[in-house]
Structure 1
Amino acid sequence: MSPAAASSAGTISAVLRDTGLMACVRASRTPNPNAMKFTLDVTLSERILANRGDDVDDPFTRALLGIAGVASVFGVNDFVTVTREPDADWDSIVCA
């Protein structure tokens, strides 16, 4: 699936599934109510650090930032932390 198609799916679950990273994902709350950690069963090839509006080359990062309500993404090794806009709803960001 193309990055544009993945981002149009509109949820983290869809992006992970469509990019092949969905085999085993565990979502965890963080001390920040606007951030959620997603532990993957694969290792990311590169460190991710991007905010909405950044010019991003990586299709996975671009797809995550294309989800309505996502403000920023940080990822390293086997996890990605997604920070939402303060008024965004987690259910509409995470669920397929």
Structure 2
Amino acid sequence: MTRNVPVTEARKDLAELVNQVAYQGERVVLTRHGKAMAAIVSAADLELLERLLAERIDLTQAGAGRPVPAAETEPRPLRIAAEHRPPGPPRPPGFGR
């Protein structure tokens, strides 16, 4: 659950807000004149956010999101590695198959 709290109120109730975030899983958005200025989130949420941002940056640097040419997505035909040959006439000894 997310709760909006004015900065002036948060100053008075900071310890209580931290406990609600840490132990009850709440997220607190700090507002000034009704506009979101910052947020208080749990350490686990912050770690997740930082990990997601790092992965997003890594993917962007690796070229993720670029269109893949159709040639890379179309299946390639398979080559035949072996061929079945039906039995033919018997061969003389010494002429193996």
State the TM-score, normalizing by the size of structure 2: 0.22
Report which structure shows greater RCO (CA 8 Å, sep ≥6).
1
State the TM-score, normalizing by the size of structure 1: 0.22
- Which structure has more helix as a fraction of its residues? 2
| Structure having the higher Rg | 2
